[in-house]
Amino acid sequence: MAAPVADLVAHARQHALGDLPRRSARRFPDKPAIVDGPTSLTFAELDAAVDRAAAALAAAGLAKGDRLALLSHNCWQFAVLDFATARVGVVLVPVNFMLGAGEIGYILEHSGAAAFVVEDALVGTAQAALDGLAAPPAVRAVVRLAGREVPDGWVDAQTWFDDDGTPPDVPQVHVADDDPVRLMYTSGTESRPKGAVLTSRALMWQYVSCALDGDYRADDVDLHTLPLYHCAQLDVFLGPDVWIGATSVILPGPDPAAVLAAIEEHRVNRFFAPPTVWIGLLRSEAFDGADLSSLEKGYYGASPMPVEVLKEMRERLPDVRLWNFYGQTEMAPLATCLPPEEQLSHAGSAGVAALNVETRIVDDDDRDVPAGTVGEIVHRSPHATLGYWNDEEKTAEAFRGGWFHSGDLGYVDDEGRLYVVDRKKDMIKTGGENVASREVEEAIYAMPGVAEVAVFGVSHPRWVEAVVAVVVPKPGHTLEPDDVVAHARGVLAGYKTPKRVVMVESLPKNPSGKILKRQLRDEHADLAAGD
C-alpha cells in the first residue's frame, strides 16, 4: 500500500540532526571531517560509520524515542553516536564523566535509558551506577578507548562502527522538527539536575545562529578540547562543523601543552575555550615557543572573560579575533554574542541577542526594566528547549509568560548590549546590599600578580553573608591577603570589599572549565563564623 502523500512530503522535507553527515558527505566526500589522534574520518567515512552505528542500534532493539546514555571522554565514537542516534530517532543522553555512581544512576533512572554506552576506563563507575536500579538499561556497550577487555554482560561497541562488508540495514525513520533527539542534564543549582529536551529544530536554528554570528566557514579547522558531553562543545562547535563541512580535531581534554601542539600540527584556525583554559594557555611555558600563526578565530564562554585577560590576549594574540558566546543549556545553548570589534570597547559585555533570539531584562513580575537596571535575563527563540523531562511544573515555571527564564541576572546599556551580573544563586547579600561576585573579581584581576580569582559569599553572624575571595597568584609572584583587601578597598565600596581573602595554588573546576563555586562555598562555609 502506497504511503500517504503527507508522509512522503514530510520525508522529503526532513531536516533533522541525523541528516547532516549525509548531506555534508555529498558535498565534501573526501574532506577530513573528524581527526582524533591516529584516526581520521572523511565526511564520506563519517556518514558510513553513522549508518553502521544506526543500523546496529536498531538491530539491538532500540526504536524512535528510546534514550541512550553515553558516558565517555572525547573521542570520534562520541561524534558518530551523536548523529547515529538522531538518524534513527533515538534520544542521546550525554553524561558528565566526572559524576559519581549515584549521580549517574539518577540520570539513568530519571531518563529511563534503554541503552548505556560507556568508555572502558569508566565501566567500574558505570557498573556501580547500575546496581540497585529497578529497570537498568537492557543494551550495554563499551567503547574500548584504552583497549581493556569487555566485561560480561556488555558488548564491544566497536562492532557497531566496523565495516564488515555488509551494507547496513538502516531503518527509514521520520524524525520531525520537534521530535526529541537530545536530553541534556543541566549541572544545575538544585539537588538534582533537570533534563532539558532538545529537538532538531532547536539545534538547527542554533547552528544557523552560531555559524553566522561566529563567522564559521567550511574551510575552518576547529579544535575541540572541552567535554563533548557539554552542550557548548557539542552543539556550538562540533554539530555546526559537521553541518557546514568544517574539519574537527578532537583532543581528550584541554591540557595547555597538547592544545598548543595540536594548533601547530593541524594548522587550527578556530578554537573555543572558557576563560580558565585561555588563561592556562597564556601561562603555559610552551606558549611563547608555539607556532600559532594559523589561529584566526577564538571564542570564549561558560563564564565572563576578565578584562585584564582580554587586554593580555590582544597583546599576545594580536591576529586572533575573539567572540564572547553566552547562553544556557536550555537555549541549545547560544543566546547572545559579542563580536570581535567590540571586545575592548565593550569589555565584559555578552553582546546582543544572537540571530534567532530575542532577549529581555525583566523584574520579578516579568516587566521590562530600564537600561542600567539589573533584572532576570529571559529569551524567546526556536533554540529553546521543549521543556524539562518529566517535569511539567518546572517547565511551566521556566516558560512563564511565554519567555524562557534563564536564572541569570543582568542589565543592558543604553545601546542594548547585555552585561551578565551573576547567577541569582551567586549574588551575595551582605548587610542589606547586593554584591555581584563578577564586579569584585574584575577589581581583583586588575591587581598585578593575580592569575585567577573566585568571589562568593559565606554565612556571617552580623552581615548575613560576607564577601570572600579565593586568589591564585601568578607564578613567581607573592601576594598577601591584606594586599588584596587593600587593593579592593581602593576601587570598590566598603561593603563590596572582601572580608576574607584565601590564597591557593589552584581553583577547583569542572571539565568544562567552570570554577566550582559551590565547592568553594562548602570548603569555606565557616570562614567568617567567628566574626
Taking phi first (over 0 means left), then psi (-120 to 50 degrees means alpha), and beta for anything else, what does residue 366 get?
Answer: left
Residue 515: give the domain boundaries: 427-523
Q: In this predicted model, what pLDDT tens digit does every residue of 317-355 receive, in sequence order? A: 999 999 999 999 999 999 999 999 999 999 989 999 999
385 and 297 in a common domain: yes
131 and 149 in a common domain: yes
218 and 85 in a common domain: no
33: its cell numbers: 571531517
List Cα–Cα distances, 312 to 166, 282, 292, 307, 315, in angstroms.
55, 9, 16, 9, 5
255 and 323 in a common domain: yes
Task: Judge whether 390 lies within some domain.
Answer: yes
According to the model, what pLDDT value does residue 189 have? 40
pTM: 0.86
3-state DSSP call for residue 242? Answer: helix
DSSP calls for 148-168? PPPPTT-EETHHHHS--SSPP
In the listed set 355, 389, 424, which residue is the last one of a domain according to the structure? Answer: 424
424 falls in which pLDDT band (50, 70, 90)?
A: low
445 and 377 in a common domain: no
End-to-end CA distance of the chain: give it in Å, rounded: 81
> Are the CB atoms for 49 and 161 separated by under 8 Å?
yes
Query: What is the domain-level CATH number for residue 131?
Result: 3.40.50.980
Task: Judge whether 231 lies within some domain.
Answer: yes
DSSP character at residue 426 = G
360 and 296 in a common domain: yes
According to the model, what pLDDT value does residue 432 have? 65
Within 10 angstroms of residue 28's Cβ, the number of other Cβ atoms is 18
- Between residues 503 and 495, the one the model is more confident about: 503
Task: Judge whether 154 lies within some domain.
Answer: yes
DSSP-H helix ranges across 162-306 = 200-213, 231, 239-244, 256-266, 275-283
Query: What is the domain-level CATH number for residue 461?
Result: 3.30.300.30
In the listed set 360, 392, 424, which residue is the last one of a domain according to the structure? Answer: 424
Count of CA atoms in the C-beta half-sphere (13 A) of 367: 3
Whether the per-residue pLDDT at 91 is higher than 70: the answer is: yes
Q: In this predicted model, what pLDDT tens digit does every residue of 455-498 receive, in sequence order? A: 999 988 777 789 999 999 999 999 999 999 999 998 888 889 99
253: its cell numbers: 581534554
Q: Mean pLDDT of all residues in the chain?
A: 94
Distant-in-sequence, close-in-space partners of 309: CB < 8 Å, separation ≥ 6: 275, 278, 279, 282, 445
Residue type, 271: F
Task: Judge whether 531 lies within some domain.
Answer: no
DSSP character at residue 496 = G
443 and 418 in a common domain: no
Query: What is the domain-level CATH number for residue 283?
Result: 3.40.50.12780
Q: Whose CA is closest to 505, among 531, 466, 479?
A: 479
407 and 280 in a common domain: yes
Task: Judge whether 183 lies within some domain.
Answer: no
The tally of domains found in the chain comes to 3
37 and 66 in a common domain: yes
Question: Which residues, listed in sequence order, are joined to residue 71 by a DSSP beta bridge?
Answer: 95, 118
Q: Distance between CA 370 and CA 202 in Å, rounded?
A: 30
Task: Judge whether 448 lies within some domain.
Answer: yes
List Cα–Cα distances, 342 to 338, 422, 511, in angstroms.
7, 21, 29
404 and 272 in a common domain: yes
3-state DSSP call for residue 223? Answer: strand
Q: In this predicted model, what pLDDT tens digit does every residue of 359-416 receive, in sequence order? A: 999 999 999 999 999 999 999 999 999 999 999 999 999 999 999 999 899 999 999 9
Is residue 182 within a helix (H) or strand (E), and if so which, with residue range? strand 180-185
Q: Can you tell me which residue has the cell 567550511?
A: 218
Query: What are the start-end ranges of the E strands in 20-168?
Result: 32-36, 39-42, 67-71, 91-95, 115-119, 139-143, 155-156
> Are the CB atoms for 243 and 277 separated by under 8 Å?
no
Burial 208-226 (b: 16+ CB within 10 A, else e): bbbbebbebeeebbbbbbb
Q: Distance between CA 187 and CA 194 in Å, rounded?
A: 8
DSSP character at residue 226 = S
In the listed set 392, 408, 424, which residue is the last one of a domain according to the structure? Answer: 424
Task: Judge whether 192 lies within some domain.
Answer: no
387 and 440 in a common domain: no
- 438-410-310-510 Cα dihedral, nearest 10 degrees: 60
> What percent of the chain clears pLDDT 70, i.e. is strictly above it?
98
Task: Judge whether 190 lies within some domain.
Answer: no
Q: Judging by DSSP bridges, how do beta strands 387-388 and 433-435 pair with one another?
A: unpaired
Q: Distance between CA 220 and CA 226 in Å, rounded?
A: 18
Q: In this predicted model, what pLDDT tens digit does every residue of 277-294 receive, in sequence order? A: 998 999 999 999 999 999
> Are the CB atoms for 58 and 85 separated by under 8 Å?
no
Distant-in-sequence, close-in-space partners of 283: CB < 8 Å, separation ≥ 6: 256, 451, 474, 475
Distant-in-sequence, close-in-space partners of 396: CB < 8 Å, separation ≥ 6: none
Whether the per-residue pLDDT at 242 is higher than 80: the answer is: yes
302 falls in which pLDDT band (50, 70, 90)?
A: confident
Q: Distance between CA 76 and CA 41 in Å, rounded?
A: 9
Cα Rg for the chain, rounded, in angstroms? 24
311 and 411 in a common domain: yes
